[in-house]
Chain A
């Protein structure tokens, strides 16, 4: 017999009786429910969801570029020379730099006093990384930990931007950061 429409399902008598397939479906969902419920009752997590602001997910792709870091010299000074090229190229105007003079280091007399990125505006395009002549700003796979009700609280300052562990850069010997990781500036 010709089908009424091309993907009309062909159902046997068993499926057509409906009730047995309904019971099978209920058994499937019921078994998932009971399995997950058993996990919850034995104090384990029976869900795939991450509790977002309380819990950071660990399965970001290695290609994810979610957060900026400022690289450091051997002596722990920030590598940025505050040339403002990243702030100039930034399409979202998210970077603000306040420069200062550092006469103790004659090779790099200009350094940022404050380097702030507004993550409520950043579009994660990576242009700042491309523009930097000093390899001073990079992006890593984590995301900034900024859920909140206030856009003014979504600025990342130098304490956060320099607070990372460059394990995979053997060319440079970085000091271990002293401040705890993921500290949100108030």
Chain B
């Protein structure tokens, strides 16, 4: 029992560190990537001076994340004249906490047997083995959908309790946008559930570990390419980032639903946006890009399609799986940032039309076709 506690505390620490670390990293990646795309240099003014010398560590502007965090923590905490202090103070937490919780059901590695990692650990752990996942729930996808649904509440509360018309407009837009895109997202995920026959995210990743046609990894993107596109679109819309940034569009609504928030409360909204990039990337990777599976890597080592194999120790396999998951998440996040800096925004009617008249019928069609194929092949 104490072994379980140790392992799960480690998992929880890893999950939180993974999300917050990557979210901080993505604030830097967003600045630098957009700069390189636009022939600019990007943030590079922040430095740490090595004490007693004149050597300045710039580190490609990586310290801007620390500077931003310090700035947000130290700024004046302005509160508007609102009649609903409680909701005003609750909203940032309601926006940030569910996003953090979603990651708990995402598997970030395969099965780990701590006793076989290092010989010294065997006496303590024995032959217990754990799925590398904070909570391995049967209803993984349902938890993901319901938790990301709670995030809307924070947005709406923020807009409503700010006593500001910009905020209220932003919140109204956020509510309608997130609700309508959640429908398409849910339908796209249902077709995926039909394909895999499970709601458990770890089960889905296990289903993706095989090969298609003998050489292609059986990832969800090859099994369900349309569902991948639909989920990606809906997920970016859920994240309220640029092609769908109507809730917080700077050009019309100042900052949308968090206009009246300052200091770390505003920072929580910002941070939850960047954590959501990580979470969306993690979900994309888990459901469509093979999760922690490296092609041709099984629990014992590499097995190439030609028949050649290369056995690896358990520790190497675990590290490879965790590293593969992290690398895939970073790449998927970079792709989202690329989308954010490439595409022009929708108008509000285009946004609604795109969601209800284009994505939703496509998702339904995809579901019907998937169900038929599944029916014939069963």
| Chain A residues in the interface with B (C-beta under 8 A) | 18-19, 22, 25-26, 28-30, 32-33, 36-37, 40, 46-49, 51
Contact = CB atoms under 8 A, between A and B. Distances in A.
Given A25-B342, A25-B343, A26-B338, A33 B40 contact: no
Nearest to A46: B36
Contacts of A46: 36, 39
Interface of B: 33, 35-41, 44, 229, 338-339, 341-343, 354, 358
A40 B42 CA distance: 13
Given A19-B229, A22-B343, A36 B39 contact: yes
23 contacts: A18-B354, A22-B343, A25-B342, A25-B343, A28-B342, A29-B37, A29-B341, A29-B342, A30-B338, A33-B37, A33-B338, A36-B36, A36-B39, A37-B36, A46-B36, A47-B35, A47-B36, A47-B39, A47-B40, A47-B41, A48-B40, A49-B39, A49-B40
Contacts of A19: 229
Contacts of A25: 342-343
Contacts of A36: 36-37, 39
A26 B36 CA distance: 14
A28 B38 CA distance: 11
Nearest to A49: B41
Instruction: Tell me what chain A mostly uses at the interface: helix, strand, loop, or mixed.
Output: helix
Contacts of B343: 22, 25-26
Closest 3 CB pairs of A and B: A29-B342, A33-B37, A48-B39
Contacts of A40: 36
B320 to A, nearest CB: 25
A29 B341 CA distance: 8
A89 to B, nearest CB: 39
Contacts of A32: 37-39
Contacts of B229: 19
A26 B229 CA distance: 14
Nearest to B33: A33
Nearest to B334: A33
Nearest to B335: A26
A47 B43 CA distance: 13
B41 A51 contact: yes
Interface centre among A26, A29, A40 (most CB of B within 10 A): A29
Contacts of B354: 18
Contacts of A49: 39-41
Given A22-B343, A25-B342, A26-B338, A33 B36 contact: yes
B75 to A, nearest CB: 21
Contact of A26 (B33, B38, B339): B339
Given A22-B343, A46-B36, A29 B338 contact: yes
A28 to B, nearest CB: 8
A156 B45 CA distance: 27
Given A18-B358, A47-B35, 15 more contacts: A22-B343, A25-B343, A26-B339, A26-B342, A26-B343, A29-B37, A32-B39, A33-B37, A36-B37, A37-B36, A46-B36, A47-B36, A47-B40, A48-B40, A51-B44
A47 to B, nearest CB: 5
Contacts of A22: 343
Nearest to B341: A29
A141 to B, nearest CB: 25
Nearest to A19: B229
A33 B33 CA distance: 8
A167 to B, nearest CB: 32
